[in-house]
Amino acid sequence: MTKTAPATVARRRFAAPPDPAAVAAAWRARGYSCHSFDDPPGQAWNDFVHETNELVTVVEGRLELIVEQERFVVEPGDEAFIPRHARHSVRNLSEGRTHWLFGYD
Protein backbone atom coordinates (compact mmCIF):
# COMPACT_ATOMS: atom_id res chain seq x y z
CA MET A 1 0.00 0.00 0.00
CA THR A 2 1.14 3.52 -0.69
CA LYS A 3 2.06 5.80 2.21
CA THR A 4 1.07 9.45 2.11
CA ALA A 5 4.42 10.66 3.48
CA PRO A 6 7.45 9.27 5.33
CA ALA A 7 7.49 8.98 9.11
CA THR A 8 9.07 12.04 10.71
CA VAL A 9 9.81 13.50 14.14
CA ALA A 10 9.55 17.27 14.67
CA ARG A 11 11.85 17.97 17.61
CA ARG A 12 10.45 20.33 20.26
CA ARG A 13 7.23 20.92 18.32
CA PHE A 14 5.67 21.77 21.69
CA ALA A 15 7.31 23.34 24.76
CA ALA A 16 8.41 20.65 27.20
CA PRO A 17 6.59 19.38 29.07
CA PRO A 18 3.71 19.90 26.67
CA ASP A 19 0.28 20.90 27.93
CA PRO A 20 -2.09 18.11 26.78
CA ALA A 21 -4.95 20.61 26.28
CA ALA A 22 -2.75 22.77 24.02
CA VAL A 23 -1.65 19.73 22.03
CA ALA A 24 -5.27 18.60 21.66
CA ALA A 25 -6.28 22.06 20.41
CA ALA A 26 -3.39 22.19 17.93
CA TRP A 27 -4.18 18.73 16.63
CA ARG A 28 -7.92 19.46 16.36
CA ALA A 29 -7.06 22.47 14.19
CA ARG A 30 -5.15 20.06 11.92
CA GLY A 31 -8.00 17.53 11.83
CA TYR A 32 -6.62 15.03 14.38
CA SER A 33 -8.12 13.50 17.49
CA CYS A 34 -6.12 13.43 20.74
CA HIS A 35 -6.00 10.59 23.27
CA SER A 36 -3.85 10.10 26.36
CA PHE A 37 -1.94 6.97 27.34
CA ASP A 38 0.41 5.92 30.16
CA ASP A 39 2.84 3.04 29.74
CA PRO A 40 4.84 1.31 32.49
CA PRO A 41 8.58 0.74 32.02
CA GLY A 42 9.35 -1.58 29.11
CA GLN A 43 5.77 -1.64 27.76
CA ALA A 44 5.80 -2.39 24.03
CA TRP A 45 3.05 -2.23 21.42
CA ASN A 46 4.17 -4.11 18.32
CA ASP A 47 3.26 -4.23 14.65
CA PHE A 48 0.30 -1.88 14.37
CA VAL A 49 -1.09 -0.68 11.03
CA HIS A 50 -3.81 1.97 10.82
CA GLU A 51 -5.97 3.21 7.96
CA THR A 52 -5.32 6.80 9.09
CA ASN A 53 -2.29 9.00 9.75
CA GLU A 54 -1.19 9.16 13.39
CA LEU A 55 0.54 11.80 15.53
CA VAL A 56 2.40 10.99 18.76
CA THR A 57 3.71 13.44 21.38
CA VAL A 58 5.44 12.52 24.64
CA VAL A 59 4.39 14.50 27.73
CA GLU A 60 6.67 12.69 30.20
CA GLY A 61 9.28 9.95 29.61
CA ARG A 62 10.70 8.62 26.33
CA LEU A 63 9.33 6.41 23.58
CA GLU A 64 11.00 4.39 20.88
CA LEU A 65 9.05 4.27 17.64
CA ILE A 66 9.94 1.86 14.89
CA VAL A 67 8.13 2.78 11.70
CA GLU A 68 8.73 0.51 8.71
CA GLN A 69 12.10 -0.51 10.25
CA GLU A 70 13.22 3.10 10.88
CA ARG A 71 13.90 3.88 14.56
CA PHE A 72 13.01 7.17 16.25
CA VAL A 73 13.31 8.24 19.89
CA VAL A 74 10.55 10.65 20.92
CA GLU A 75 11.02 12.87 23.97
CA PRO A 76 8.80 15.45 25.71
CA GLY A 77 7.60 18.08 23.25
CA ASP A 78 8.57 16.12 20.12
CA GLU A 79 5.85 15.25 17.62
CA ALA A 80 6.08 12.07 15.54
CA PHE A 81 4.10 11.56 12.36
CA ILE A 82 3.25 7.97 11.38
CA PRO A 83 1.72 7.68 7.91
CA ARG A 84 -1.35 5.56 7.24
CA HIS A 85 -0.64 1.92 6.39
CA ALA A 86 2.86 2.04 7.94
CA ARG A 87 3.69 -0.91 10.20
CA HIS A 88 4.89 0.54 13.51
CA SER A 89 5.79 -0.36 17.08
CA VAL A 90 6.06 1.76 20.24
CA ARG A 91 8.12 1.00 23.37
CA ASN A 92 8.60 2.88 26.63
CA LEU A 93 12.34 3.55 27.03
CA SER A 94 12.00 5.20 30.45
CA GLU A 95 12.75 3.63 33.82
CA GLY A 96 9.40 5.05 34.94
CA ARG A 97 6.08 5.56 33.25
CA THR A 98 5.79 7.37 29.95
CA HIS A 99 2.75 9.61 29.46
CA TRP A 100 2.08 10.19 25.77
CA LEU A 101 -0.59 11.50 23.46
CA PHE A 102 -1.71 10.04 20.15
CA GLY A 103 -4.26 11.08 17.57
CA TYR A 104 -5.64 10.09 14.17
CA ASP A 105 -6.87 12.15 11.25
pLDDT digits (tens, 9 = 90+) for 8-35: 999 999 999 999 999 999 999 999 999 9
Instruction: Please write the tens of the pLDDT for every residue from 34-76.
Output: 999 999 999 999 999 999 999 999 999 999 999 998 999 999 9
- pTM score of the predicted model: 0.93
- Is residue 93 within 8 A of residue 64, CB to CB? The reply is yes
At the topology level of CATH, where does 8-104 sit? Jelly Rolls (2.60.120)
